[in-house]
Amino acid sequence: MQRRSALALVLAAPAGGCAALSLATRPPPELFALTPKSTFATGLPDVRRVGMQVEVPTAAAGLNTARIALKPTPTRLQYYAGATWIEVLPVMLQSLLIESFENTGSVEPFAAASVGPRADWALRVHIREFQAEYENPQSPPLVRIRLLPRLLRLPRRDEVGAASFEAVEQAPSTVLADIVVSMDETLGAVLRDLVEWTLITIDAETA
């Protein structure tokens, strides 16, 4: 009995080694990044007289991930295989928001909520939609992004304004790289409207 057990262990070892080797040689996921908005309406108000911070956005559990989401049906959420965002989506979006605000030239350069001088305003954003949606698996999907911002006056965090910004675009193909380009363009439209709304609202409240 002891000899049979020892033989079984010896025979099992190569199989375990092969499994470990397979895991070690599995190709890493393809990484994708989105870009901040850099073009805005002319004549935006200058709000450099006040301090502002952008909090890490919140998101539903299915979107609080680095995986790229898709909906094959309205009631199912899945993810593209072998591909991720460069960061968890809320963290990536926070960086894109900050860069977009700075690109307006209407705010002082600022950092995340956890660093920097005390701010007068905080922007809190909820990610409601951020996925590709398929009506037909063989056809290019729709890209849908919807962000819900809330503008808070500090230090009491009184809500001054809330809004909803959504954009939808048809991807040119079913290739993931093309879908990500459409996501970048769709997000750009949402970021433009969100940033402009924020600056106009702050200016009106501090005039």
- What are 164-176's pLDDT values in tens digits? 999 999 999 999 9
Of 12-26, 28-42, 148-162, the poorest mean pLDDT is in: 12-26
CB 191 within 8 A of CB 35: no
pLDDT band at 22 (very low <50, low <70, confident <90, very high): low
70 touches 79 (CB < 8 A): yes
Q: What is the mean pLDDT of residues 55-65?
A: 96
DSSP letter at 172 equals: S
pLDDT at 15 > cutoff 70 = no
pLDDT at 27: 82
Contact 126, 147 (CB under 8 A): yes
Per-residue model confidence (pLDDT) at position 127: 98
Partnered with residue 32 across adjacent β-strands are 85
For residues 46-65, give the mean pLDDT.
94
Q: Is the pLDDT of residue 16 over 60?
A: no
Tens digit of pLDDT for each residue in 109-133? 864 454 445 789 999 999 999 999 9
Structure tokens at 131: 């996925």
62-68 mean pLDDT: 98
Superfamily of domain 2-206: ABC-type transport auxiliary lipoprotein component (3.40.50.10610)
CA distances from 192 to 28, 34, 82, 110, 187 (A): 33, 14, 30, 18, 9
Q: How far apart are the first and last CA of the chain?
A: 88
Residue 81 pLDDT class (50, 70, 90 cuts): very high
Domain ranges of the chain: 2-206
Task: Give pLDDT, residue 117.
Answer: 57
Residue 67 token pair? 């995986």
pLDDT of residue 18: 53
pTM: 0.85
Q: For the residues 80-104, what does the mean pLDDT come to?
A: 97
Write the Ramachandran bin of 157: left for phi over 0, alpha for psi from -120 to 50, otherwise beta: left
pLDDT tier for residue 95 given thresholds of 50, 70 and 90: very high
Extract the runs of DSSP E, i.e. beta strands, from the chain: 30-32, 52-54, 58-59, 67-73, 76-85, 121-133, 142-153, 158-162, 165-170
Confidence of residue 2 (pLDDT cuts 50, 70, 90): very low
> In the predicted model, what is the mean pLDDT of the chain?
88
